[in-house]
């Protein structure tokens, strides 16, 4: 192969890598709204109603050794501290393999945003962008208006 052709192959490889990096950078850390028909809810998760935030609850599945998991926990905890009604609950994915397979969790961390009723509304893979936390919690706010704190027991 000529030198020019070899560099062309390398350029192609770099282009593929850049495209992959762009896709990963755009999808990881960004919330995906879960369709209501496919969304799971609180009964699938080992969370009591009383543990839910009045507005939103971030349920994070992570692992001890995973660096982005710890960064995610720090970021959501800081967000929850600034926003009343928002809570953060963390599970070790390796201790809950049944949940991991039921919720189709492949990469760690995977974080679910639950509304005040405990329904899964948004799914985020990787370290969530700060603006995504704000955006998706705000999108839950209307539902919260009809749900007074203390009247969370909707799926009895």
Partner 1 sequence: MSTPETAVPTHKPKQIDPRGPRVAAAFTSILLAVTIVVALTGQNVAALILLAVIVVLFALGAAGSPAYPWSLVFTKLIRPRLAPPAQTEDAAPPRFALLVGLIITGIGLIGGLAGIQLAVPIAAGFAFVAAFLNASIGFCLGCEIYGLIVRVRTASSRN
| Residue 104 within binding range of partner 1, rule CB under 8 A | no
* Region near partner 1 per CB under 8 A, out of 18-26, 32-40, 45-53, 144-152: 18-26
CB 33 within 8 A of CB 27: no
Report the alpha-carbon distance of residue 92 to residue 83 in Å, rounded.
24
Report the alpha-carbon distance of residue 69 to residue 59 in Å, rounded.
12
Which residue's CB is nearer to partner 1, number 37 or number 101? Answer: 101
| Residue 17 within binding range of partner 1, rule CB under 8 A | yes
Token reading at 96: 């809950």
| Residue 32 within binding range of partner 1, rule CB under 8 A | no
| Residue 99 within binding range of partner 1, rule CB under 8 A | no
Token reading at 145: 């208006």
Rounded to a whole number of angstroms, the distance between the first and last alpha carbons of the chain is 70
CA angle at 64 for the pair 114 and 88, rounded to the nearest 5°: 25
Which residue's CB is nearer to partner 1, number 64 or number 148? Answer: 64
Positions that interact with partner 1 (CB under 8 A): 1-3, 5-7, 9-10, 13-14, 16-18, 20-21, 24-25, 28, 63-67, 70-71, 74, 93-95, 97, 100, 106-108
């Amino acid at each position: 192969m000529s030198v020019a052709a070899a560099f062309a192959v390398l350029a192609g490889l770099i282009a593929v890598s850049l495209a992959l990096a762009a896709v990963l950078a755009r999808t990881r850390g960004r919330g995906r709204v879960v369709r209501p028909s496919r969304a799971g809810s609180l009964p699938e998760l080992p969370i009591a109603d009383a543990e839910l935030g009045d507005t939103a609850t971030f349920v994070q599945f992570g692992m001890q050794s995973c660096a982005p998991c710890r960064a995610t926990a720090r970021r959501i905890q800081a967000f929850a501290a600034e926003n009343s009604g928002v809570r953060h609950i963390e599970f070790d994915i390796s201790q809950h393999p049944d949940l991991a397979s039921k919720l189709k969790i492949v990469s760690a961390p995977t974080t679910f945003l639950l509304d005040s009723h405990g329904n899964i509304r948004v799914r985020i893979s990787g370290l969530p962008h700060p603006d995504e936390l704000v955006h998706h919690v705000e999108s839950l706010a209307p539902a919260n208006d009809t749900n007074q704190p203390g009247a969370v027991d909707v799926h009895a």
